[in-house]
């Protein structure tokens, strides 16, 4: 049971989605598409190679498919639906194209360090069936695309209102600034690595630009991207209450609506835990501290996740 426990929260969210009248069809279609994608791109390659790095291809391209499905099958105002679909597609393409480039360059022929770190966790938890643990972790990321991460997209795309409120505009602005920040951080690190390679300096610590203020500004920005999508979805979630009440008008429906809202807020917590603890900051730093001589000093002076002036 300890192997399958991480899947439980995703199944609960998925159950709420397919129980809620407005999302039955679109949720089931998205689930099927994500299942096919992850089976072909991740689960089968994991079985053959024992490497989980293929998730880096499937997860962002799953977001692209999520955006396409949302736009095709949603019933809300087409401009809003197109906008939120375009936002999640852009997020997926930015990472997905980079992952394909890494794959073609041969970087996925060995396990990425953040997934190697999972083996340390499994050992501590007594999970000695590595093949099963790999498959469960891969499936959990596919289920994330089919459940929690679909919530803000589907909810926003149901809104038939033809005007945009201030909360929605605020969410869009946060999303835009965060996506720009994430891209800048990635470009700054890439430029730093190219310069170090040219100067023949190995295992240097990147502390330039945004990396002066956070050890992982790209992860922080990715978290804020999803916070922007969540904020954008809040007015549409409030509007759902009236729509669903007209259909059933019972207590069960009110509970489902509240659970959707709770799930929407949980997306922020889930992304934070993922980007800091699961496959983000902590796994990356475990190996950086071992191979980069100046990294422990960098940890003392620079905040791990939330940006702030260096000490």
Query: Residues 191-220: pLDDT tens digits?
Result: 999 999 998 888 899 999 999 999 999 999
107 found inside a domain: yes
Residue 106 lies in a domain: yes
Taking the C-alpha atoms of residue 195 and residue 187, their distance in angstroms, rounded to an integer, is: 12
Alpha-carbon gap, residue 81 to 74, rounded angstroms: 7
Q: Tell me the pLDDT band of 244, cut-offs 50, 70 and 90.
A: low
pLDDT by residue (tens digit) across 251-264? 777 888 899 999 99
Q: Is residue 308 part of a domain?
A: no
CB 222 within 8 A of CB 275: yes
Q: Give the pLDDT confidence score for residue 165 in this predicted structure.
A: 95
Residues contacting 147, CB < 8 A, separation 6+: 10, 11, 13, 14, 17, 263
Domain boundaries, position 215:
5-301
pTM as predicted: 0.93
User: Do the Cβ atoms of 262 and 155 come closer than 8 Å?
Assistant: no
In a domain, 31, yes or no: yes
pLDDT score, position 241? 80
In a domain, 104, yes or no: yes
Total domain count, the chain: 1
| pLDDT of amino acid 155 | 96
Whether 311 maps to a domain, the answer reads no
* Span 21-44, pLDDT tens digits: 889 999 999 999 999 999 999 999
* pLDDT digit string, tens, across residues 124-160: 888 888 889 899 999 999 999 999 999 999 999 999 9
Q: Tell me what pLDDT residue 117 has.
A: 87
* Whether pLDDT at 176 is above 80: yes
Alpha carbon 31 to chain centroid distance? 16
Give a yes or no: residue 309 inside a domain: no
Is the four-CA dihedral 43, 46, 51, 54 of positive or negative sign? Answer: negative
Residue 86 lies in a domain: yes
Q: Rounded to the nearest 5°, which phi and psi values hold at 262?
A: -65, -40
């Amino acid at each position: 049971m300890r192997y399958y426990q991480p899947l439980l929260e995703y199944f609960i969210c998925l159950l709420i989605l397919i129980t809620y009248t407005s999302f039955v069809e679109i949720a089931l279609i998205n689930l099927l598409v994500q299942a096919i994608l992850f089976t072909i791109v991740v689960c089968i390659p994991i079985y053959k190679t024992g490497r989980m790095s293929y998730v880096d291809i499937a997860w962002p391209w799953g977001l692209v498919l999520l955006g396409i499905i949302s736009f095709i099958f949603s019933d809300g105002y087409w401009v809003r639906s197109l906008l939120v679909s375009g936002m999640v597609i852009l997020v997926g393409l930015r990472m997905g194209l980079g992952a394909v480039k890494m794959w073609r360059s041969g970087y996925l022929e060995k396990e990425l360090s953040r997934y190697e770190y999972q083996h340390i966790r499994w050992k501590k938890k007594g999970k000695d069936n590595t093949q099963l643990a790999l498959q469960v972790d891969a499936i959990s990321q596919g289920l994330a695309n089919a459940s929690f991460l679909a919530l803000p997209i589907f909810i926003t795309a149901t809104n038939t209102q033809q005007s945009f409120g201030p909360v929605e505009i605020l969410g869009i602005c946060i999303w835009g600034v965060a996506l720009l920040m994430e891209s800048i951080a990635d470009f700054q690190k890439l430029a730093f690595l190219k310069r170090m390679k040219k100067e023949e300096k190995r295992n240097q610590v990147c502390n330039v630009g945004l990396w002066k203020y956070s050890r992982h500004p790209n992860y922080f920005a990715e978290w804020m991207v999803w916070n922007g999508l969540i904020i954008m979805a809040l007015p549409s979630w409030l509007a759902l209450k009236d729509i669903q009440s007209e259909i059933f008008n019972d207590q069960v429906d009110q509970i489902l609506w509240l659970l959707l809202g709770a799930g929407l807020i949980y997306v922020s917590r889930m992304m934070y835990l993922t980007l800091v603890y699961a496959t983000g900051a902590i796994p990356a730093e475990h190996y950086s501290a071992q191979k980069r001589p100046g990294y422990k000093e960098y940890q003392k002076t620079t905040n791990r996740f939330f940006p702030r002036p260096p000490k």
